[in-house]
Amino acid sequence: MKRTIRTARAYAMALALAATISITSCQTQDNSDGIALKNGQEQTSTTVQSASMTRVTVFFPEEELVDIINYVLNTDYDTISDETKLSLDLLADEVDMAQIFSEVNFRLAVNIPSVEQENIETFGDLVNYVEEHFNGSYNNPEVIFLKVQRIISDQLNISISQIYLHSNLKRDLGMDSLDVFETAMAIEEEFAIEIPNEYIERIKIVEDYILYLRHR
């Protein structure tokens, strides 16, 4: 269902973009045509703006935090309930907890002070703290690339090994305009951001996604 919604939104924006390009390229010969063109441009602009306004980005840290816990504890949980106690249920000792907090800082740029660490007993406590303090940025460029790489792999159903930092989206990965928009939306969901349409139109290689994430 989520992919269907993203596809519909991306398709709408791709159509709006195509309409904008088509209208802009038209050359008018008289005043009446000029008025029609102006009205058409205004209508298209409204369409693009409306499509953009439907994109809502919300950060859900659960998946990332489960991945961090699996990494630190060498476990393989798909999900963890909010009531799960990190020490009692997951058997995380002091060293494990310190590493979990360190990974949260490393991957999500959320620093949890020692005084706050003492209050985090359950997985839900950890989720709530990260949700409240996440500022929409990721510190490590390697983490950003790996996430974008995984998103593109999922969108195109291709192996991660085929995706490089300087891969050309169209020539190397076979993406069309709709794929570019869909990927941008998936990145928006993952990083809880919104990428402007005018920037998406200029994306040519994988690194362009990452540069926006690092310098927005």
122: tokens are 């359950």
Q: Is 176 a catalytic residue?
A: yes
Kindly name the residue from 33, 93, 154, 176 that is annotated as catalytic: 176
* Spatial separation of the C-alpha atoms in residues 103 and 89, rounded to whole Å: 20
* Spatial separation of the C-alpha atoms in residues 48 and 29, rounded to whole Å: 26
Tokens 């085929």: give the residue. Answer: 162
* Spatial separation of the C-alpha atoms in residues 46 and 194, rounded to whole Å: 18
211: tokens are 């540069």
* Spatial separation of the C-alpha atoms in residues 24 and 36, rounded to whole Å: 12
Question: Which residues are part of the catalytic machinery?
Answer: 176
